[in-house]
Amino acid sequence: MKESSAKYFSNRACQYFPCHKAENTDDFNCLFCYCPLYALGSRCGGNFRYTDKGVKDCTECAIPHGEGGYEYVMAHIRGVTEMARRTD
């Protein structure tokens, strides 16, 4: 089990732990409990699908929760910050 840090946090007391299927929960990272890349839609790069009602379903994606997840999110976060800067 990893030690908590700025890049890793595990909340085994959470009623939803683990929130995604995981082969090994010893290093399951809860830092991005809600993925900051969700808003990127199809550009997030994760294993997602859209439901019949058009809702993005990320239950099969564990990128933010696995090894290298922090680095992946940080490498792609620019798209989210660019979206936040836009004005209509």
User: Could you read off the pLDDT of 22-75 as tens digits, one per residue?
Assistant: 888 999 999 999 999 999 999 999 999 999 999 999 999 999 999 999 999 999
pLDDT of residue 36: 93
User: pLDDT tens across 76-88, in order?
Assistant: 998 888 888 866 6
Q: In terms of Cα–Cα distance, which of 75, 85, 86, 88 is closest to 37?
A: 75
C-alpha neighbours within 13 Å on the C-beta side of residue 27: 11
Q: What's this model's pTM, rounded to 2 decimal places?
A: 0.83
DSSP string, 22-72: -S--TT---TTSS-TTGGGGGGG-SS-EE-TTS-EE-TT--GGGSTTHHHH
**What are the sequence ranges of the domains in the chain?**
38-85
CA 17/CA 20 separation, integer angstroms:
8
